Chains A and B, each alone.
Chain A
């Protein structure tokens, strides 16, 4: 089954404690991206990657890091989480030549 898998799905953490949200896709997609969704603001793009070792900033990259060492994986790293990073996070992927973007199930992150 074609899917984008995120982990963890739910996490409560404390300010300043580094965390990583993993994302993996099994569709051999070149493009992967991270979004955060906050009430009334829709989805905002954090980072995206066009292929292995190629990443670029989206609209809200501050406080986040990403890496793309393998085609299937695109982890989101919060080096020092703060309460304003409490949000619902979505990973997504698609083919470079396609317009259909597939989203993961989302990761609810709470920073206290």
Chain B
């Protein structure tokens, strides 16, 4: 699976959009981009995933660049409960293969 690079930490003001970047320059054509988050010692929680097109669900939006070498997770209106470590994971074909967690981004949402 392709390696990902994320900033170690980010801050965001409550109510503002949180934009979390991820670089995955070695991604292959059949690899998806997945985002999970882990709120303090809880089990990781799925957020969203995509292949080429931008995706949106009730939690977030995922913007993938045209060359697929990077992506951005957007939390449109961050709340204090969104404070967590966010992991960007690249994996082959849908949910095949295991999740390999790298160094995620610690997002701190501040009042």
Decide whether A and B assemble into one complex. Answer: no
Chain A interfacial positions (CB closer than 8 Å to B): none
